[in-house]
């Protein structure tokens, strides 16, 4: 006999789905399309679905936007068993699965006849409706304790505190719409991501989540996507105290940070541990987008030498704090740079000695929205001769994928950014499903020597007292026109070098022996403009051709004497 449609829907929704990401996503989409309550989509047995409905709040609370606790109070009738006090504990233990299970509701209450020799054991009305509802083992236990199986009715007063969070929210929100009861917890902070139809109830939702979860004293809503610059969420306070400085412990490591100004994802704990376990004592780790240190600090604790970087000044500050908090500040060097500037600067400077030393080198790039685009920074990173090529750095780069084959998609995008095929030279690891049809992946590979030592992707210009000299390959016209302009302004001669990249951010590097007066002028001239100062004024990132021209014009005025560009061809 064919099942009715709703019965079919509930049977399908109750099927547990494990181990298959695509099937799990389809299961969630089906349940959402069917407008089923949260409990119907969780793989629970039918009696659990019934329980959710029996304990529903009074219908008068529907549409409530400001929490009124008293409005949830009601009285229901539940079955009870009269048990002698002498065998009370044994009976309760034997009927564990049959007794009532509600937050704040006692399983044993005073007998209404106020006899000191008897107590009432409250039973689950879904599980027990008559003496025949007891299992054979339960009935045998009652007979052995000489307890009559005669049931009594007990009037139970249910309040807001006896309801689960999803029951409260399902009673309040419009029928047929999704109910938010899940959240991510960071220390004492619960953060949720409300949908448009839930926004009128946002303060009530925040209060319910705080009430129903001990230890949560602050609830915030993510009001926007992750900030593209600093990876922190824009947040709105929904309930509780405005204390955003959280303290969390992950894999035995303690972190403190201001959650409103940095990025932290509690769902990445396993991934942090997986990558750190790949690092051996004595290895060096370059953490390009370090955040507050979930890779850097545990790697240092395991004996690695760590250079950790983050563009966000707040992340940089808490990274330093967490290094000290976990007593690894001597093993972690912290930088506040753009990711590309970090690779072209500190990573480039340290790599030659590390390659000669033979120790393992890992580069972690956990910025899944953008990290794959930063891989081109490895092109031509090294130019020195006689460097070993057997133990090149291992990169762990994260990315999002909406492709049906996310492994192949991420590997292909990494290859495109590097300008070198990685098809058979990389491994791709599934991290987590972040949204329907959107996965977070990690591609790991050893940087190919053809990429690391290539020299055709950049041009080195040396500032000399007598003019500019181009010492690498000739570049495309936009940079060529800028470089061919004669320098006529006279200024103090400074020896310096500059690495130019055509297209995208350009990195201007001023070595430490450059006069600090010049560095101070760079900082003054770039403040508030298109030129962004990095690394104590010795690096800056230049965005766009106009900014590029301003930078070169400034260096002409301050770093060169009268002269012209020497040589029209590569030398």
196: confidence class by pLDDT, cuts 50, 70, 90: confident
Range of lowest pLDDT (96-100, 126-130, 508-512): 508-512
| Structural contact between residues 483 and 470, judged by C-beta atoms closer than 8 angstroms | yes
Question: Above 50 in pLDDT, residue 384?
Answer: yes
Are the C-beta atoms of residues 232 and 311 closer than 8 Å to each other?
A: no
Query: Which residues make Cβ contacts (< 8 Å) with residue 367, sequence separation at least 6?
Result: 231, 288, 289, 339, 374, 398
Structure tokens at 385: 């001769």
**In angstroms, rounded to a whole number, what is the distance separating the alpha carbons of residues 542 and 549?**
10
Residues comprising the chain, all counted? 571
Q: Residue 335's pLDDT is what?
A: 97
3-state helix, strand, coil in the chain (%, to 5): 35, 25, 40
Q: Is 111 annotated as a binding residue?
A: no
User: Would you place residue 514 in the very low, low, confident or very high pLDDT band (cuts 50, 70, 90)?
Assistant: very low
What structural domains does the chain harbor?
5-54 (no CATH), 74-158 (3.30.70), 165-243 (3.30.300.110), 267-452 (3.40.50.150), 459-559 (no CATH)
Give the least confident one: 33-37, 253-257, 497-501, 567-571.
567-571
Instruction: Give the DSSP H or E segment for 550.
Output: helix 545-559
Query: With contact defined as beta carbons under 8 Å apart, do 413 and 396 qualify?
Result: no
Range name among 23-37, 86-100, 148-162, 317-331 with the lowest pLDDT average:
23-37
Beta strands in 85-132 (DSSP E): 108-110, 118-122
Do the strands 74-84 and 108-110 form a parallel or antiparallel pair, or are they unpaired?
unpaired
Buried/exposed code over 256-295 (b: 16+ C-beta within 10 A; e: otherwise): ebbbbbbbbbeebeebbbebbeebeeebbbbbbbbbbbbb
Output phi, psi for 179, to 5 deg.
-110, 125
Highest mean pLDDT among 117-126, 270-279, 375-384, 490-499: 270-279
More confident: 390 or 66: 66
pTM over the 0.85 mark? no
Query: Phi, psi (5° rounding) for residue 344?
Result: -75, -15
Residue 159 has pLDDT above 90, yes or no: yes
pLDDT at 391: 87
Higher-pLDDT residue of 76 and 555 is 76
Cβ partners under 8 Å of residue 477, min gap 6: none
DSSP code, position 77: E
Tokens standing for residue 509: 């590097």
Q: Which of 91-100, 275-284, 377-386, 411-420 has the lowest mean pLDDT?
A: 377-386
* Cβ contacts of 43 within 8 Å, gap of 6 or more: 14, 15, 16, 17
Confidence bin at 317 (pLDDT 50/70/90)? very high
Q: How far apart are CA 263 and CA 318, in angstroms?
A: 11
Q: Is position 272 annotated in a ligand binding site?
A: yes
Q: How many CB atoms lie within 10 A of CB 193?
A: 13
Q: Give the residue with greater pLDDT, 208 vs 24.
A: 208
Average pLDDT for residues 139-149, to the nearest whole number? 91
Q: Model confidence over 259-280: pLDDT tens digits?
A: 999 999 999 999 999 999 999 9
Lowest mean pLDDT among 122-131, 240-249, 406-415, 491-500: 491-500
The response to whether 338 counts as a known ligand-binding position is yes
Q: Which tops the pLDDT comparison, 196 or 454? A: 196
Question: Lowest mean pLDDT: which of 123-127, 201-205, 453-457, 507-511?
Answer: 507-511
State the pLDDT at residue 183: 87
Q: What is the mean pLDDT of the chain?
A: 76
Q: Tell whether 366 is in a known binding site.
A: yes
Q: Is 258 annotated as a binding residue?
A: no
- Condensed to tens digits (0 to 9), the pLDDT of residues 343-380 reads 999 999 999 999 999 889 999 999 999 999 999 999 99
């Amino acid at each position: 006999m064919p099942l009715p449609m709703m019965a079919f829907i509930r049977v399908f929704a109750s099927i547990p789905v494990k181990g298959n990401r695509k099937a799990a996503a389809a299961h969630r989409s089906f349940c959402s399309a069917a407008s089923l309550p949260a409990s119907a989509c969780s793989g629970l047995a039918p009696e659990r679905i019934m329980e959710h409905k029996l304990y529903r709040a009074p219908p008068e609370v529907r549409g409530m936007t400001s929490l009124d606790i008293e409005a949830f109070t009601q009285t229901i009738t539940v079955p009870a068993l009269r048990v002698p006090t002498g065998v009370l504990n044994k009976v309760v233990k034997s009927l564990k699965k049959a007794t009532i299970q509600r937050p704040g509701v006692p399983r044993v209450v005073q007998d209404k006849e106020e006899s000191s020799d008897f107590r009432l054991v409250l039973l689950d009305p879904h599980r027990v409706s008559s003496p025949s509802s007891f299992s054979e083992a339960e009935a045998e236990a009652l007979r052995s304790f000489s307890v009559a199986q005669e049931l009594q009715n007990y009037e139970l007063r249910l309040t807001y505190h006896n309801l689960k969070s999803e029951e409260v929210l399902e009673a309040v929100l419009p029928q047929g719409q999704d109910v938010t009861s899940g959240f991510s917890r960071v220390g004492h902070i619960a953060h949720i991501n409300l949908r448009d139809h839930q926004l009128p109830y946002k303060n009530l939702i925040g209060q319910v989540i705080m009430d129903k979860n001990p230890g949560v004293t602050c609830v915030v809503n993510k009001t926007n996507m992750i900030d593209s610059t600093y990876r922190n969420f824009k947040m709105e306070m929904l309930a509780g105290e405005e204390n955003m400085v959280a303290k969390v412990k992950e894999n035995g490591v303690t972190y403190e940070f201001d959650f409103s100004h940095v990025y932290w994802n509690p769902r990445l704990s396993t991934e942090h541990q997986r990558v750190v376990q790949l690092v051996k004592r004595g290895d060096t780790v370059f953490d390009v987008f370090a955040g507050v240190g979930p890779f850097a600090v545990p790697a240092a604790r395991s004996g690695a030498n760590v250079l950790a970087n983050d563009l966000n000044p707040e992340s940089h500050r808490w990274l330093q704090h967490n290094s000290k908090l976990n007593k690894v500040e001597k093993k972690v060097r912290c930088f506040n740079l753009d990711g590309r500037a970090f690779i072209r600067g500190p990573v480039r400077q340290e790599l030659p000695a590390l390659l000669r030393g033979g120790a393992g080198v890992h580069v972690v790039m956990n910025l899944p929205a953008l990290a794959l685009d930063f891989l081109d920074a490895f092109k031509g990173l090294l130019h020195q001769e006689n460097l070993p090529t057997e133990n090149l750095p291992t990169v762990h780069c994260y990315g999002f994928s909406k492709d049906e084959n996310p492994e192949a998609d991420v590997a292909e995008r990494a290859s495109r950014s590097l300008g070198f095929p990685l098809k058979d030279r990389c491994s791709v690891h599934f991290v987590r499903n972040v949204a329907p049809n959107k996965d977070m992946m990690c591609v790991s590979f050893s940087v190919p020597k053809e990429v690391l030592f290539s020299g055709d992707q950049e041009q080195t210009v040396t500032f000399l007292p007598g003019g500019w000299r181009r010492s690498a390959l000739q570049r495309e016209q936009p940079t060529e026109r800028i470089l061919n302009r004669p320098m006529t302004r006279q200024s103090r001669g400074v020896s310096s070098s500059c690495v130019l990249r055509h297209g995208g951010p350009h990195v201007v590097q001023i070595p430490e022996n450059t006069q600090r007066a010049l560095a101070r002028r760079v900082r003054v001239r770039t403040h508030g403009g298109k030129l962004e100062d990095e690394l104590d004024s010795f690096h800056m990132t230049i965005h766009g051709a106009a900014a590029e021209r301003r930078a070169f014009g400034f260096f002409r005025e301050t770093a060169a004497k009268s002269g012209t560009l020497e040589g029209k061809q590569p030398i």
